[in-house]
Structure 1
Amino acid sequence: MNNKKVQAEIKHSHCVYLPDFELPANCCDCHHHIFDRRYPYSADDKRNLPNATVSEYGEFRDWLGFTRHVLVQPSSYGTDNRCLIDALQAFGPNARGEAVVTDATSDNELDVLSRAGVKGIRFNFGAGSVTTPEMLLPLAARVAERGWHVQVHANASQLWELRSLLRQVPGRLVIDHFFRLPQPQPKEHPVWKLAWDLIDSGRCWVKLSALYHQSQRDDVSDMAGMVKTFLNEATERVLWGSDWPHPNLISANKKMPDDALILSKIFHWASNDRIRHKLFVENPAQLYGFNASSSR
């Protein structure tokens, strides 16, 4: 991995396409990461990802024109949430966090995370997770008492294997990256029905993030039908996230996306101002606890 080249792409990839849209006030990016090599990666980390810092994300945020955002603990740090906590402090009241914890995490540690602005915990079954399916329900019960949610990242086949547990999660549930439904026929996968069962329960949100995970086109235009269905039929339960700085693409040495172009696609697929306001403002405010003054 050429870290200098990757670093330049992280900083400048969002400048390829000039935005042709204006986001509503208090728009929220519900999924991004911070990598800061001042905080050591876990011993079993194999990706060795470069810095993607608070200041670099600030430039990205200001370029696209949103103000609120949610930091997601990357797998590189395991359960060491210090980078997340410090980044939340640096960003201030317009930021929230999703941490990684295990069944060994104490209530005092959860209190520290809560004071920092954490509103949920993440299970990443897609890349080097320290959490296991067996931890899902016990941890979900603990954080539900705090009003937090559980977020799950897994591919469609893994989600199908987890379907019984997902249906039992107490409290609120968030599924990363549009359930990782495969192209070109996402609606033929059994997880399509599972997605709607969970959404129809009234307690599940879906992140329309990282469309490039399954898209077969640089402009993600092949995702239009699926994304429009979520936007139109699950308007109360959709979220958007940039997935900046796109760690899976970096580790796989793949081309970086044009973030502004992808966001433009989603903005226009949300066909009217009501849906856009739900997607970018109201749904994140409800889930992550933002209010009119953006104070914690």
Structure 2
Amino acid sequence: MHSFDRTPGPQTGAYVPPARDIRDYMAEAAPVGVGRAVVVQASVDGTDNSRLVQVLGAEGPVALRGVAMIDGDADLPALHAAGIRATRVQDRARLGDSALEALPQLAERVAEVGWHIELNTEPRSFEHIAAMVPLLPEGVRLVLDHIGHVDPAEPQALLRLLGTGRVWAKLSPTRVSTDIGRYGDIAALIEQIGSAFPDQIIWGSDWPHVMTCEPLPELPPMLALCREALSTDTFARCMWDNPERLYGF
């Protein structure tokens, strides 16, 4: 999920940040049983992780970890001490060419603090990423945000990438499904990924759903999708065991 500020701010990127923060998320998440959350640095904040670090220090009923966006001057040990466990790389066609070429060097850097790399990428880059996997330091994982923005009808390239064993998928349904609130069009995909790769999946809500049309997605239907599409054991891995390993909860 992302956290912004309850005081509306100016548009500094592709969207106007919604006036919703971690307290709003906790109010929605805690009643449905969410006890842990990962706050991802929003693209509008660039590599200034000061708001993220502040959010991670918030007290409340939900334990927090973070995913930062870093530059060459980032103090990784200090960010790690604040609760950050990964860095994010943007690789979307609408954003232009990204830093994928620097992925091996970035992986060397984050390996020193035991982080993984979250990729906001899409199928056009899957083959390229697969070719880079052997170049990464042992133990560094890649996590595909938004299920890699895959077409649910054509998951083969995604499954091959997960088959490397070094790549995970974040089961955030709202950027892939066109059936928001029911998610019937991706239930088979979630079932297939969960069955084949039960130790390489985590769930994500993408709250508070920036650049998303009304009505905005809600947490309970997303949780219901995973509960119904995954076996009882795989659901537990996705929601508890895997994120515990990945983020050090």
Normalising by structure 2, report the TM-score: 0.88
**Residue 89 (structure 2) pairs with residue 123 (structure 1):** yes
| Shift in alpha-carbon separation, 1:71–1:91, aligned structure 2, 3 A | farther
Normalising by structure 1, report the TM-score: 0.75
Partner of 2:3: 34
Q: Distance in 2 between matches of 1:91 and 1:129?
A: 38
Which one-letter code corresponds to 1:223 in the other structure?
I
Q: Distance in 2 between matches of 1:116 and 1:130?
A: 30
Report the secondary structure of 2:231's partner residue. Answer: coil
Partner of 2:241: 282
Partner of 1:231: 194
Which one-letter code corresponds to 2:136 in the other structure?
V
Q: Distance in 1 between matches of 2:30 and 2:227?
A: 17
Q: Distance in 1 between matches of 2:234 and 2:121?
A: 26
Equivalent pair of 1:186/1:226 in contact (CA under 8 Å) = no
Partner of 1:221: 184
Equivalent pair of 1:208/1:241 in contact (CA under 8 Å) = yes
Equivalent pair of 1:33/1:71 in contact (CA under 8 Å) = yes
Q: Which of 138, 142, 161 is the aligned partner of 1:194?
A: 161
Which one-letter code corresponds to 1:151 in the other structure?
E
Deviations 1:181-221 (A, max 9, x none): 113x123x53432232x3xx3x3221111x12122223111
Partner of 1:182: 151
Q: Distance in 1 between matches of 2:183 and 2:121?
A: 20
Q: Which of 217, 221, 226 is the aligned partner of 1:257?
A: 217
Q: Distance in 2 between matches of 1:129 and 1:94?
A: 35
Q: How many residues align?
A: 244
Deviation at residue 232 of structure 1 after TM alignment: 1.5
Q: Distance in 2 between matches of 1:40 and 1:129?
A: 26
Deviation at residue 39 of structure 1 after TM alignment: 9.9
Partner of 1:151: 118
Q: Distance in 2 between matches of 1:139 and 1:42?
A: 29
Partner of 2:39: 71
Report the secondary structure of 2:4's partner residue. Answer: coil
Q: Distance in 2 between matches of 1:271 and 1:122?
A: 30
* Structure 2 residue ranges without an equivalent (≥5): none
Q: Distance in 1 between matches of 2:188 and 2:31?
A: 28
Deviation at residue 276 of structure 1 after TM alignment: 2.0
Q: Distance in 2 between matches of 1:148 and 1:175?
A: 15
Equivalent pair of 1:123/1:150 in contact (CA under 8 Å) = yes
Deviation at residue 40 of structure 1 after TM alignment: 6.8
Deviation at residue 111 of structure 1 after TM alignment: 2.1
Report the secondary structure of 1:174's partner residue. Answer: strand
Higher-RCO chain (CA-CA 8 Å, sequence separation at least 6): 1
Q: Distance in 1 between matches of 2:203 and 2:222?
A: 11
Q: CA RMSD in A?
A: 2.4
**Residue 106 (structure 2) pairs with residue 139 (structure 1):** yes
Partner of 1:84: 52
**% identity of equivalent residues:** 29
